[in-house]
């Protein structure tokens, strides 16, 4: 179980313990309307769905109170930028290597042709 899943489970458990304590027998109509389910189970479904639907949107809408999370986000952005630069420099290196090999092949061919012309 990941850290996020553990936090979600703890939050749901705390909600059940604090809000629904003693109300285990309460039921509501199920989401599909074909029966009933316990309130605790319904609350768990709603909370789980709302927290897992779009975690990125939830993170963007709430201000970052955790400076480590903000620093982590900034470092991740910098890492992505550096990875892009590294990829670009590798592509340039490969291109230069191809051009170098083409020049060497041309020079070798020209030298061989000149040597052939001299011998004939």
Tokens of 35: 């029966």
The answer to whether position 109 is within a domain reads no
Averaged pLDDT score across all residues of the chain:
77
Sign of the dihedral through C-alpha 15, 20, 22, 27: negative
Asked if the structure places residue 104 within a domain, the reply is no
Does a structural domain hold residue 97?
no
Strand partners, 36: 29
Q: For residue 24, give every residue at least 6 positions away whose Cβ sits within 8 Å of its Cβ, in sequence order, or none.
A: 38, 40
- Mean pLDDT across the stretch 17-29? 63
Residue 116 is assigned to a structural domain of this protein = no
69 lies in which domain range? 3-92
**pLDDT given at position 40:** 67
**Number of folded domains that form the chain:** 1
pLDDT of 87 above 70: yes
The distance from CA 49 to its chain's CA centroid, rounded to whole angstroms, is 20
Q: What's residue 34's pLDDT? A: 75
pLDDT tens digits, residue range 31-51? 677 777 776 677 777 777 776
Confidence of residue 79 (pLDDT cuts 50, 70, 90): very high
pLDDT band at 22 (very low <50, low <70, confident <90, very high): low
CA dihedral 58, 38, 7, 63 (to 10 degrees): 20
pLDDT at 70 over 60: yes
pLDDT of residue 48: 72
Which helix H or strand E contains 74, and what residues bound it? helix 67-119
Q: Greater confidence, 63 or 96?
A: 96
In a domain? residue 117: no
């Amino acid at each position: 179980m990941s850290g996020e899943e553990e936090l979600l489970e703890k939050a749901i458990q705390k909600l059940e313990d604090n809000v629904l304590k003693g109300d285990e027998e309460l039921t509501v109509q199920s989401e599909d309307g074909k029966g009933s389910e316990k309130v605790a189970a319904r609350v768990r479904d709603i909370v789980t769905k709302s927290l897992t639907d779009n975690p990125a949107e939830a993170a963007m809408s709430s201000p970052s109170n955790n400076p480590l999370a903000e620093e982590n986000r900034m470092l991740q952005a910098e890492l992505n930028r550096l990875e892009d630069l590294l990829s670009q420099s590798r592509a340039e290196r490969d291109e230069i290597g191809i051009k170098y090999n083409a020049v060497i092949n041309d020079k070798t061919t020209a030298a061989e042709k000149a040597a052939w012309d001299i011998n004939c």
